[in-house]
Chains A and B, each alone.
Chain A
Amino acid sequence: MKSRVSLPSWLALSVTALILLVLPRLIGTDYYLHIAIISLVFVILATSLDILVGYSGLLSLCHTAFFAFGAYAAALLFLHFQMSLWLTMFAGGVFAASIAWLLGLLVLSVRGHRFIITTVIFAEIGRLIAYNWTDLTQGQIGLSGIRPPVFDLPGLPRIDFSSREAYYYLALVVTTTCVTIIWRITHSPIGWRMLALRENEALAEASGVDTRRIATTAFVSSAFFAGLAGAVYAHYTGFVSPDLFYFTYTTTMLIMVFLGGKGTIIGPVMGAVLFTILPEALRVTANYRLMTFSAILLVLVVFAPEGLVGLFARIRRRFAGQGSVQDA
C-alpha cells in the first residue's frame, strides 16, 4: 500500500513509456508491429483475468469466451450498423459484462471445482452457439470485413487507423487506459474486498463483505475488459470465428497471469508481452519451437512459482541483501 511511487519505479515507467512510444520506429516491419499489437490485446486480457484469478481467487476458465463475445458483438455491430470501434469497444465490453452477470447468477454460488468446470462448459456452449447459429455468425466461415476506425472530428486532423502503425498507437492508448483502470479497481477498497474474498470467504462475510456481490463485481468487470479487448482485436484482424472460444486461448491467458505473477497486475502485463513474443521468437528453433516453449514454461513453473514478479523480487533481494514482506 505505497501511497507514492518510488524513484526507480518512475524511471522504469518513463523508460518503458518512451520505448512504447517510439517502438514502431525501432522495429519497423509490419510483422513485428503485428506482434506488438497482439501483445497489447493480451495485456488487457491477462490483467482483466487477474482481477478474477489473482485478486478474487476465482479460477475462471472461460475468459476467452468473454473475449470472443466482445469480438462477435463488435463484428456484428460493424457489419450491420457500420458502428466504428469507438462505439463497439464499449458495446463489446457491455455485452460480455452482461453475459458474465447472467452466468454469475448461476455459477457464483458455487466454488472450487464446480465453479471451474461450469466455466469450461460455458465457454464450450459459447463456441457451439457461434458455430451453429449460422444465420447470425456464418458458423465456421466466421465474419470478415470488420474495418479499423477513422478518427474524424471537425477541426482536428483526420487519422485513418487502417495502417499497422496507427493501430498500434490506438491499441497502446486503449490498453494503457484499461490497465490503469484495472490497477485502480484492484488497489481500491473494491480490490481489497476481492482480496478478503480470496483469503478467507467466511471471515470476509463476517467482516461485512457481501461476498456474492464482490464476486459478481469481479466477474462482470473482468468480462467487460475482455469484451473490450475482443472489439479491439476484431477491428484489427477484421475477422472473427468460433475458434476464438477455444480453450487454448484461456490456457494462454492463464499462463500469462500465473507465470507473470498473479495478483500483481504488473506480472500479467509482463506475462502477456513475454508469452506473445516468445513463441514467435522461438521460430528460429524451427521444428523444436513448441517443445522449446514448453520446456521454458516448465522451468519457469518450477523455479519461479510466484511468476516473473516473484522471481525479480527474489533477485533484487539477493542483491540488496535484505528481505522485505511483499505487498500483496
Chain B
Amino acid sequence: MLEAMDVSVSFGGVHAVRAVSFRAEGRDITSVVGPNGAGKTTLFNVLTGFQKPNIGNVVFADRSIVGLKPSGIAALGLVRTFQKTEVFKGLTVERAVEIGTTCGRDFPMWQTVWPGAIGRARETARNEARRILQRCVLEDVAGEPCAALSYGEQRILEIALALAARPRLLMLDEPASGLNPTEARRLGDLITSIRADGVGVILIEHNMQLVMRISDSIIVLHHGEKIAEGTPSVIARDQRVVDAYLGGSGFAAA
C-alpha cells in the first residue's frame, strides 16, 4: 500500500534519513522504532508531504506522492498525527471532529447559497463525528473545548481527528508518549480495532511494550538508516538492534 524507496533527507550536510526503503501493508500495524534522533519523524514528514526528500520516491496506492501537498496526500487516504499534541484548541471536541470530517470533502462556493446544501453537510458531519467519538470513547467530553481535555484525552482526540479524515493508512507519531499504563493499553486497543476495520497503521513509538504487543512488523532506524526489519519476535533477538539501543533507552528490558 505504501512504499518508500531509497528516501534520503539531509539538513545542511547532516543526514537525518539515509536511503531508507520499506513497505507498509494496508491491513498491518507497522511500527518504526529507534533511539531519539534516529530520523523517525523526518521519515514521517517525508511520507506525508511535510518534508521533501533529497532523493528517493514514495508510492502510495499505486502513485508517487512526492511533491504533493500534505492536504493532497491526506485526501488520498494517508493521514498522520503529530509528535507534539495538535488539536483545534479553541473549538469544542464535537465541533473539531465535525470539521475534521468535512475537510477532505469538496464543497464549492455556490453551494453556500443552495437551499439545504449546508444543512445536509452539517447533518452528515454530525453523524460521522458522533460515530467517531463513540468509537474513541470521547462522547462524554464531546461538549468540552479541546484545550480543556486531559493530556491523555487530547492524544486520543488527535486520533479521532485523524479518523475523521477517513484514512486508508493512519500514521501515528508517538501516540503513547506521556500516557499512563492504563491509557496506553486503551490506546493499544483502539489501534488494533482500527486495524480490524481494514485501516493500516504506521506507528512511531518508544513504548516498546505496546509496540511488541500490537505490531505486525517493525522497522528499526538508527542514525537515519534502517538497521533491521521484521516481526516483533525477530526484532527482539536482532543483535544490531540490541547494540543500537544499549547505552540508549532501555530497549533490552522490553
Please tell me if the beta carbons of A192 and B86 are within 8 angstroms of each other in the complex.
no
Check A283 for interface membership: any CB of B closer than 8 A: no
Check A273 for interface membership: any CB of B closer than 8 A: no
Beta-carbon nearest neighbor of A199 in chain B: B88
Docked complex Cα distance between A193 and B111 (Å): 15
Please tell me if the beta carbons of B164 and A199 are within 8 angstroms of each other in the complex.
no
Check A328 for interface membership: any CB of B closer than 8 A: yes
Given A206-B80, A210-B69, verify A1-B98 contact (CB < 8 Å). Answer: yes
What 6 pairs across the A-B complex have the smallest Cβ distances?
A: A208-B104, A199-B88, A189-B107, A208-B74, A189-B102, A192-B99
Q: Can you identify 21 A-B contacts, CB atoms within 8 angstroms?
A: A1-B98, A181-B112, A181-B113, A188-B121, A189-B102, A192-B98, A192-B99, A193-B102, A195-B99, A200-B87, A203-B82, A203-B87, A205-B71, A206-B48, A206-B162, A207-B100, A207-B161, A208-B75, A209-B71, A325-B145, A328-B90
Number of B residues near A (Cβ < 8 Å) is: 48
Given A3-B119, A3-B122, verify A203-B86 contact (CB < 8 Å). Answer: yes
B112 CB contact (under 8 Å) in A3, A190, A193, A210: A190
Beta-carbon nearest neighbor of B166 in chain A: A208
Please tell me if the beta carbons of B74 and A205 are within 8 angstroms of each other in the complex.
yes
Of the listed residues A202, A203, A205, A207, the one surrounded by the most CB atoms of chain B closer than 10 A to its CB is A207
Check A185 for interface membership: any CB of B closer than 8 A: yes
Shortest CB–CB separation between residue B95 and chain A, in angstroms?
7
Given A187-B118, A221-B109, verify A207-B69 contact (CB < 8 Å). Answer: no
Number of A residues near B (Cβ < 8 Å) is: 32
Given A189-B107, A205-B74, A208-B103, verify A195-B118 contact (CB < 8 Å). Answer: no
* Chain B residues in 8 Å Cβ range of A199: 88-91, 96
Beta-carbon nearest neighbor of A202 in chain B: B86
Given A184-B118, A328-B95, verify A207-B107 contact (CB < 8 Å). Answer: no
Beta-carbon nearest neighbor of B99 in chain A: A192
A190 CB contact (under 8 Å) in B82, B91, B109, B164: B109
Knowing that A189-B105, A209-B103, A325-B144 are A-B contacts, what are 19 other residue pairs whose CB atoms are under 8 Å apart, sorted by A's residue number? A1-B95, A188-B111, A190-B112, A192-B98, A196-B99, A199-B88, A199-B91, A200-B86, A203-B86, A205-B50, A205-B69, A205-B74, A206-B70, A207-B71, A208-B104, A325-B92, A325-B145, A328-B90, A328-B92
* Chain A residues in 8 Å Cβ range of B80: 206
Beta-carbon nearest neighbor of B86 in chain A: A203
Check A204 for interface membership: any CB of B closer than 8 A: yes
For A26-44 the 0/1 string (1 means CB < 8 A from B) is 0000000000000000000
Beta-carbon nearest neighbor of A192 in chain B: B99
Docked complex Cα distance between A239 and B132 (Å): 56
Docked complex Cα distance between A20 and B212 (Å): 69
Check B223 for interface membership: any CB of A closer than 8 A: no
Beta-carbon nearest neighbor of B123 in chain A: A3
* Chain A residues in 8 Å Cβ range of B48: 206
Given A195-B99, A208-B104, verify A325-B88 contact (CB < 8 Å). Answer: no
* Chain B residues in 8 Å Cβ range of A208: 71, 74-75, 79, 103-104, 165
Q: Which of B43-97 contact A (CB under 8 A)?
A: 48, 50, 69-72, 74-75, 79-82, 86-92, 95-96
* Chain A residues in 8 Å Cβ range of B186: none
Beta-carbon nearest neighbor of A195 in chain B: B99
Check A211 for interface membership: any CB of B closer than 8 A: yes
For B142-157 the 0/1 string (1 means CB < 8 A from A) is 0111000000000000
Please tell me if the beta carbons of B100 and A202 are within 8 angstroms of each other in the complex.
no
Docked complex Cα distance between A185 and B112 (Å): 6
Check A217 for interface membership: any CB of B closer than 8 A: yes
A residues at B contact (CB < 8 Å): 1, 3, 181, 184-185, 187-190, 192-193, 195-196, 198-200, 202-212, 217, 221, 325, 327-328
A188 CB contact (under 8 Å) in B100, B112, B165: B112
Please tell me if the beta carbons of A207 and B87 are within 8 angstroms of each other in the complex.
no
Beta-carbon nearest neighbor of A212 in chain B: B69
Docked complex Cα distance between A202 and B70 (Å): 9
Beta-carbon nearest neighbor of A182 in chain B: B112
A206 CB contact (under 8 Å) in B82, B111, B144: B82
Docked complex Cα distance between A205 and B112 (Å): 22
Shortest CB–CB separation between residue A214 and chain B, in angstroms?
9
* Chain A residues in 8 Å Cβ range of B89: 199-200
Please tell me if the beta carbons of B103 and A204 are within 8 angstroms of each other in the complex.
yes
Please tell me if the beta carbons of B71 and A210 are within 8 angstroms of each other in the complex.
yes
Beta-carbon nearest neighbor of A213 in chain B: B71
